[in-house]
Amino acid sequence: MRVRKARLPDANAIHGLIRSLSYDGTLLPRSFPEIYENVRDFTVAETDDGEFLGCGALHLYGPHLAEIRSIAVTPAAQKQGAGGRLVEALLAEAESHRVGCVCLFTRIPDFFQNFGFAQAERTALPDKIYKDCANCPRINACDEIAMARGVLPETAVLGPARVEEHLVPLQL
């Protein structure tokens, strides 16, 4: 098994895997054009023969924050180490960019704790909230756990520095 940076021809496999896991809410859906536009964010895992096993992306917000997103492996590759290899590669990429904090949102926190991630408050990650969560239909009913590794950022660059500005009060 090997991991490498994704290339344009990988977009089909990346999109298909993400799409297959977005119907039940496991992953946020990503359109095919969005995969093409952001293919340089992705890393893929593959067999030594080049068979696609999985993918993950590192989204850079700036030197203060990066996000690991769209981590997924094919059913046949689960429990074979592909997910861990992807996380390690994305963390190494974040380190090469000298990013101070790496975050992610997940429903499987135990997996990511093995890589030094700890639960974090959503309010500590306003750039992530502004980029994705503010437009998500589940913003007020999200079941994902925010996690971070490194020093939580003290600033935001994308929008309001306070997450609360994006949250809509629940009407009871």
Q: What is the pTM of this model?
A: 0.86
Instruction: Determine whether 103 is exposed, middle or buried from the number of CB atoms within 10 Å of its CB (0-12, 13-18, 19+).
Output: buried
pLDDT score of 158? 67
* Annotated domain spans of the chain: 2-165
43 contacts 56 by C-beta, under 8 angstroms:
yes
Which has more pLDDT, 137 or 33? 33
Which has more pLDDT, 97 or 157? 97
Which has more pLDDT, 93 or 122? 93
Residue 161 has pLDDT above 80, yes or no: no
Instruction: Find, among 52, 55, 47, the residue nearest to 18 by Cα.
Output: 55
Give SS3 for 133. helix
CATH code of the region 2-165: 3.40.630.30
pLDDT digits (tens, 9 = 90+) for 94-151: 999 999 999 999 988 999 999 999 999 888 887 877 777 766 666 677 778 899 999 8
Q: Hey, what long-range contacts does 113-116 have (CB within 8 A, 24 or more apart)?
A: 113/147, 114/84, 115/84, 115/87, 115/88, 115/91, 115/149, 116/149
What string of DSSP letters covers 72-108?
A: EE-GGGTTTTHHHHHHHHHHHHHHHTT-SEEEEEES-
Mean pLDDT of the chain: 87
pLDDT band at 47 (very low <50, low <70, confident <90, very high): very high
Tokens 């939580």 locate to 152
Which has more pLDDT, 145 or 7? 7
Which has more pLDDT, 141 or 57? 57
The answer to which of 28-37, 50-59, 103-112, 127-136 has the lowest mean pLDDT is: 127-136
